[in-house]
Amino acid sequence: MTDPIADMLTRIRNASAVKKKQVYVPFSKIKLEILKILKSEGFISSFNEIKPGSNDQKFGGLEVDLRYEDGSSAITSIKKISKPGRRIYATSDNLPKVLNNLGIAILSTSQGIMTNKKAKKLGLGGEIICEIY
């Protein structure tokens, strides 16, 4: 697999399209940070870290509880921006506005993974990972 973050976003997108309550994602630290942002922004209900060896799991993972409002998913669109073949960077002046600031962009900055709104406040730029609304 060349892009594990895109795999996670696709799993979430597909699970929300068929109204699943939970989705399993293989563990990595960057995925954990992205899920923390999604939870704090209200796009997912919660997530649990699954330790290796528990629940017949050979490897560790993350179990994501998707959030629905009145039968529709809280995530309307989730799109990977920066890809392995084409990295997209933005300076603090050129941070993207997602859906006129109703959505968020997740960035990888020198101070960690954060939303475009927080990066704007801190005056940071970085690699744009994805956009969600």
What are the average pLDDT values for consecutive 10-residue runs of the chain, which has 133 residues? 93 96 95 97 94 76 94 94 95 94 96 96 97 96
Same domain? For 91 and 38 the reply is no
Cβ neighbour number for residue 122 with a 10 Å cutoff: 13
DSSP symbol at 35: H
pLDDT for 53: 76
pLDDT for 55: 67
Count how many domains the chain has.
2
pLDDT for 60: 84
Same domain? For 61 and 105 the reply is no
**CATH code of the domain in which 30 resides:** 3.30.1370.30
Cβ neighbour number for residue 82 with a 10 Å cutoff: 20
Site of tokens 């960077």: 89
pLDDT for 51: 86
pLDDT for 71: 87
Residue 67's φ and ψ, nearest 5 degrees, are -110, 135
Return the amino acid letter for 133. Answer: Y
Same domain? For 9 and 66 the reply is yes
pLDDT for 52: 83
Q: Parallel, antiparallel, or unpaired: how do β-strands 44-50 and 22-26 relate?
A: unpaired
Same domain? For 82 and 50 the reply is no
The residue range of the domain holding 123 is 78-132
Same domain? For 67 and 118 the reply is no
Same domain? For 82 and 29 the reply is no
Same domain? For 87 and 124 the reply is yes
Same domain? For 65 and 8 the reply is yes
